[in-house]
Structure 1
Amino acid sequence: QFYGIDAKKLEAGRYIQYSDIASRQPVCVLGYFTATRLFGSAEAAVGESIRFDGNVVKVVGVLQRRDKDELKQGGPDDRALLPYTTALLMNQNADVSEYIITVDKVEEIAAARILLTVFLQGRYKSPDYFYISSMSEMLKSMESTMAMMSAALGGIAGISLLVAGVGVMNIMLVSVTERTREIGIRKSLGAKKSVILQQFVIEAAVTSSIGGLVGIALGCVITPAAGSLMHMKAAATLPAVLVSFGVSAAIGLVFGYMPARRAAGLNPIDALRSE
């Protein structure tokens, strides 16, 4: 496992040195969890020995604790780092298929890549024999993929909102048709156009808001369940809930305006004649 530049931040002891690599020394640096689990503390682990598949290795250092929340098996502090030459000797394998190189600053990645390319071309004579990739390129690729996925999900969400809006509009149009006589009676008794308009817009907003609340409740139940199945923490956040409710209410206001306007524009006499 790769720790990066901060791998040399030690809790106790020393880090792996070039002399350890050159002479294939049986030494290792433990993660904080591994050291405390085996020896009780980081300081007590230094100088002790552990066994890897029958090979005795001396602990020369312990890395600082990385996970501030919880020490657990398989976490970032459950590690043991060895000189790669020692690991190859233990595995009886003399091939190294991959090297990971770090730089102090992100701005130096491009220059480091050029230097590595020149060096490896001098060794292998052909660029077909090696491949160099950088985390920044991988990050850009992931960001591009995420942007495409976000756009696709946004399009799907937009279609869903449009369908929901059309559904609200149809419901309100049916409501206006069924309540034509009621509208005519209210207008004949002096109800203003703005009052009728306000009534049906509010009804549309309430209808869509109820649907939004049902969706939010289902989301709050399904999200943690889906997260547990994927072994990750997932929960509905307050901003997401507020945005969801606001969107559902806005759909009712926007798509309910046309049926409300139609209801407000009815002629009282024609409305009273309606069956």
Structure 2
Amino acid sequence: MGQVNVAYDDAVLRRLDALAERQGQSRSDLLRGLAEEAIKADEQGRPLFEPRAVPLSPEVLAGLVHEIRQMNVDLDRQMRAAEKREKRLLESCNATEEANRSARERHGKDLANRFREGATPFSIMLGDFRKDIVERHEAILSAIREPESVKAMRVDVTVVKSLLLQRRRKADRPLHALHFHIARNLKVAGWELAVCAAVMILVLLAVQSGIGHVLPYSWWATPISQSLYGSSETGACELYKAAREVDHCKALPSAKKGGGK
């Protein structure tokens, strides 16, 4: 058995002796018990010295109950405050969402108004252009379309040819004595038919002139002049003599052909 010699102060030794006397032990037994207790506490992982259990008095219990109740009141107050804070946050979020929605609607209307204002001049120009096209279309149709009076006097070409043949056969008869059967129950005198033919020719000439003024020259006037004069050079020469009131026109340069300059 080993032995450990430890030096203590006189004051500590006196207190150890007093403690051993109160415990009914010797100094060596007290120190040996303290050493064993320290080793067991370390092995068991517990405190070396545990405080004594203090008995709870009614006053202490009443104080603890009061503290617990106060803690419950404080906890309830904190929960109410948290609910109010959460409610305010929700209201703030809803207000922000409503403000964002209102801002989107306002900006959408503003963009629509700006687009409408920017597109108005183009719409006006497009409407004027469309109106001009409609007017030109109506002018062309009115120039091509026959008047109502001409429609009433229209005669079948085959019938006119047959009537002209009959007129040649009856050349000895005066014009006012000739009669033509246009239909089953319609009989027209020769002079009336001549007047109708003259009116129709005048109307056709007027329609042809109107078409020449409305359509481009390359569409109507130029082909007509070529068919009447035989070539464009002859037509240009005749127009030049009529405009200058001369009997001849200058020689026109010949048209170049091929890729030469």
Fold conserved between structures, TM > 0.5: no
TM-score by length of 1: 0.21
**Structure in which a larger fraction of residues adopt strand:** 1
**Structure in which a larger fraction of residues adopt helix:** 2
Instruction: Select the structure with the greater relative contact order (CA < 8 A; seq sep ≥ 6).
Output: 1
TM-score by length of 2: 0.22
